[in-house]
Each structure stands twice: as C-alpha cells, then as structure tokens.
A and B are shown apart, each in its own frame.
Chain A
Amino acid sequence: MKAAIIWLGAILLAAVAAPFFLSSASQSMNLLSPLEAPSLHHWMGTDPLGRDLFFRILCGAQVSVGVGFAAVLIATVMGILIGTVAGYFGSWVDRILMSLTDAMLCFPVFFLILAVIAILGPGMIPIVVIIGATGWMGTARLIRAEILTLKHREFVLAARAFGASNRWILTRHLIPNALGPVIVHAILGVSAAILTETALSFLGIGVQPPTPSWGNILMDGKATLGSAWWMMLFPGLVIFLTVLSVNVLGEKISHQMRGSR
C-alpha cells in the first residue's frame, strides 16, 4: 500500500515535471550509440536512435497518465449526467437512457475504439475522447442505482417540501450522496484507461511518435525483440507497476468505504 502510493507519487511527479526539464534530452538522438545496454550513463539503455530510454519513459508518463486521467474524467462526468437523469426522472427517459447503456455494453469496447480512431485518425485528443465516450456505462448504472434508493429518502422529501428545485435537489442532495461508489469506480477506471492507451499506442494507432508514450516506446521494443531486452522490459514494467499501484489503491479505498457503512 505504501509502496503503491510512493510509486504513484513518483510517476505523477515525472508526469508534471519531466517534460519541463527533459523534453529535449528525451528527444536528442545520438546515432553513434544506438541500442546501448543499460549503464551508469544511460540507466535504462538507449533506443535504436540512441535516445535515452529512461528520459523517454519519464516524459512518457505525462502522456500515458494524463490520457488516463482525462479519459476517466470525461467518462465519469458523462456517466454521472446520464445515470442521474435516468434515475431521477424515471419513466421513458430512464427507459431510453438505460437501453442506450445496455446497447453500448454489448459492444466489445476495443472494437468500437478502433473503429472510431480509424475515423478520427490517431492522436492524443481523439484517444482521450473515445476512451471517455466508451467508458461511462458502469458509472451511469452505479449512480442510477444510488439515485433510485436515495430519491425517496426523508432528506430529499424534506428538501422538496421546502420548495427546492430539481436542480437544487440533484446538485446539493442527490449527487453528493451518490458519489462514493463512483469515486472507486473512477480510480479503477484510470488503470483501465492507461492500459487501453498503451495498448493503442503499442499497436501504432495511439499517440504518435516522436511524442513519447509508454505504449509507443514499447512498440519500438517489439521491433528489437530478442536483441535489446531493455527496450522491452522497462516500459512494460513501468506500465505494469503503475496500473498495479492504482488497482491496489482503488481496492483499499473500496474496502474502507464498505467497512465504514
């Protein structure tokens, strides 16, 4: 648990600070020293263009973690909006929105993402938008269920009796009380989004080089399979440890929330 927090802190620091100090160092090529094994000078070795792998991974943190957070933000806001409206207003609004949710849930999400990326073209913004737009269904269902149980509780009836508007009730009473499970879901969503971004970039249709992302660094590693183990080991290890830390953190928080109820 502590290790997870320390690791995430380091990664976040890299994501915020590394591009300021290292963006030129991470791009500077040295064709005299391509594919050098890790050494004191290059901690994680160099890539086929002689760029320092450690610096590239540090800079890649901004893209990979940033995309993860931004995508989950979009997904969570969409999920809260759709779930709240469906749960609060009920009847046909609920039925239409929930059919939409169920239909979306039937799609193998990765297929849908690929199709839309083929249309919009690869790049950071399309990826954030599409990972967000295909990830809201779980949040919507969670928050709808919460709203359904909350909306008949006494404090909501009391607010209504005082003449509160729908908007007031929703934003001041219902949504704040329904947020608990959503937060856990969002944390776990970040790890899923990081995995999706790195997978897309790894396949060559995500964040495009020369902008370093953990996924496209690993894509370069695939090309040198068998000859340069560091190109493959380090980027993957960083993805793995980051996702693992986020999952551990999410699990811990959800455990404590369940315990506190």
Chain B
Amino acid sequence: MTKYFLKKTAGTVPLLIGITLITFLVIHLAPGSAVDAKASFNPKMTAQAKAKLESLYGLDRPILVQYADWMGRLVRCDFGTSFVDGKPVTEKILQAAPVTLAINLGTLLLILVLGIPLGVYGAVRAGTLGDKVLTVVVFAGFSVPTFWLSLILMSFFGVRLGWLPISGLHSLFYDEMGTWQQYLDLGRHLILPIGVAAFTSVAGISRYVRSGMIQVLEKPYIRTARAKGLSRNRVIYGHALPNVFLPLITILGLSIPGLLGGSVIFETIFSVPGMGRLFFDSVFTRDYPVIMGILTLGACLTLLGNFLADIGYALADPRIRVGEHS
C-alpha cells in the first residue's frame, strides 16, 4: 500500500509542473499587461512611468526567469501580491476559498444523497413508468442552463414569493442575530445556489449508478444471494450497491473541476463572495497574480481530488493496490 501511495504521489509532480507552466505561458504570452490596464485608466501616464511600473512588478524580465521566480515563491505558498489593491494573493484567496469549498462540498453531498437512491430506483424498476419519468427529469437537469434556472428560481422564490433571499451570504442584520439564527440565515442564503448546482449535476451520478446497478444485478453472485433467500433490500443494498460504489469514487473525483468552474456562474449570479467571484473580478482587471493563484489552486484541488479518489479506490479494492503493475 505504501508503495502504491508513493507511486501515485510521484505521478502528480510532473502534472503539477505541467499545470503551472500552461497557466503561466497562457497568461504571459498574451498582448497587453496589467500595466497597460492601469495606463488606460490614466492618460497622463508616460512611457517612463510605465517602464518603472513594469520593473517594479518584474514584468520586464525574461519569461522563464519570471516563471522560475514565481515557482520559487509558490513552493513557499506565496502567490505574490495583487496588482489591484496590493494585498497578498494568499490572503485574498484564503478569504474566498472556504465559501466556495463549503458550497461545493454541500453540493457534492446533496448529489450523492439524491443521485444514489434515484439511480438504484431506476435500475430496480428499469423500464417502468417511474423509471422513465426519472430519466426525463434527470435529462432535463443535465440540459438546463444553470444561470437560467437560477434566475427563474430567484424571481419565483425570491421576488414573487419572498421566501428566500436572492443574493449574498448574510442578511442585513446578521451581526445582531444569535448563533442559531445566524446558521439559519446562512442556510437560507445557500439553499438556492446549492440546490441548483446539485440538480444540474445529479444526472451524472444517478445515470451512472443506474447503469452500473443494472449490470451488477445480472451477475451470478446476485442470483446466489437471491437463491439463498435474502430479502430484496439486503440483496440490493448489501450485495449489489457496494460494487457500484467503487467506480463512483473516481467519478466524484472527476467532477471536481466542473463544480469549481460552475462556481463562477453561481457566485456571480447570487453575489456570493467566493473564489469564482474573485476570479471573475480579477479577470477584468488583469490581476495576473490572483488569476494565476486561483487557476493553480483550482487545478491542485482537482489533482488532490483525483489523488484521494485513487487512494480511496485502492483502499476499497485490493486488486488495485496489489495486482496492478502498470
């Protein structure tokens, strides 16, 4: 197991370098720089002042030197300072990341809680009316534009009925509330973003569980379990489902980049001060250090997710950690 663990860890290093190199090149080879963006707001800026700014930010040095410099600081968890307000990038990201992570973890949880039973139901009742209705609903969730669904729910529950808040994380009088009220308030703000995100991505999991279950239910060991006289639920949940769970770990790992990317849309629509929103704002001001920081962090989170999925898979399935030599 240790050997497998080490091998997987070593495997992520070249990927990490590849990721940072791609980001760095994409952003720095582009025409126009942060200094240009600043200069365009200030018509009095001279070429001299521009050059001074460029050397201050280190933008006048060869690109590989800039990359090496950036990597050197990255190893020490230093992403530099924002071009816009001079705050450390790490501080800005740390402020925003917990919000995004909390929302995404909540979404993942909801996807599992909804997707697995739906998938099992679809497989056990394959071909019935219930299964067909479910397939249609799941397909709809898969095809609906998230920003549109958010808008509709916002205007219905938020504006028309006034049941739910439509933006931000806290109400106006948040600071004066008791602890429980604060949690309740936060929860009410999160219902719509998490609900929409989960509805639109539940399709992947439930369809996967459904097709996996249908295959597993035809296996001889399921027939044996049935023949033994086990109850229906015991066969489905005790014998069949665990075998579907395994690949599910990988699917969850793979769904992370999609969720993170989606957070840009949700956080912009619902005015949630998370990483997606920070990224969106930084893109407009060409705040390279922040863009680089979030891109790198996003890719690293994905890598971490895949890594954890690999390890989880190996823990659950001895064939992987012992038998595989590739």
Contacts and interface: CB of A to CB of B under 8 A. Distances in A.
Contacts of B262: 110
Interface string A131-142: 000000000000
Nearest to B28: A119
A210 B49 CA distance: 37
A181 to B, nearest CB: 16
A212 interface: no
Given A99-B15, A106-B15, A119-B26, 16 more contacts: A103-B299, A106-B306, A108-B258, A108-B298, A111-B260, A111-B279, A116-B26, A118-B286, A119-B27, A198-B145, A198-B147, A199-B146, A203-B147, A240-B145, A244-B144, A248-B139
Contacts of B144: 240, 243-244
Nearest to B279: A111
Q: Is the interface of B mostly helix, strand, loop or mixed?
A: helix
B145 A119 contact: no
Most buried by A among B26, B145, B265: B145
B309 to A, nearest CB: 13
A123 to B, nearest CB: 14
22 contacts: A100-B18, A105-B257, A106-B15, A106-B257, A108-B257, A110-B262, A110-B265, A111-B294, A111-B295, A114-B279, A114-B280, A115-B23, A115-B291, A115-B295, A203-B264, A203-B268, A218-B148, A222-B269, A225-B151, A243-B144, A244-B140, A247-B143
B154 interface: yes
A239 interface: yes
Closest 4 CB pairs of A and B: A110-B261, A236-B148, A103-B18, A119-B30
A239 B145 contact: yes
A240 B32 contact: no
Contacts of A112: 26, 295
Contacts of B151: 218, 221-222, 225, 232, 236
Contacts of B306: 106
A236 B151 CA distance: 10
A25 to B, nearest CB: 25
A195 interface: yes
B230 interface: no
A108 B267 CA distance: 15
B22 interface: yes
Nearest to B30: A119
B104 to A, nearest CB: 11
Interface residues on B, range: 35 or more
A225 to B, nearest CB: 5
A106 B291 contact: no
Contacts of A103: 15, 18-19, 22, 299
A38 to B, nearest CB: 17
B139 A244 contact: yes
A99 B19 CA distance: 10
Contacts of B269: 222
A107 interface: yes
Nearest to B14: A99
Given A111-B298, A115-B27, A240-B148, A106 B303 contact: yes
Interface in A145-183: none
A104 B21 CA distance: 11
A199 B147 contact: yes
Interface in B19-47: 19, 22-23, 26-27, 30-32
B147 A218 contact: yes
Nearest to B144: A240
Interface in B281-324: 283-284, 286, 291, 294-295, 298-299, 302-303, 306
A191 interface: yes
Interface string B144-186: 1111110110110001100000000000000000000000000
Contacts of B142: 247
A226 B160 contact: yes
A217 B148 CA distance: 11
Contacts of B280: 114, 203
Contacts of A100: 18
A102 B298 CA distance: 14
Contact of B265 (A118, A120, A191, A203): A203
B298 A236 contact: no
B260 A108 contact: yes
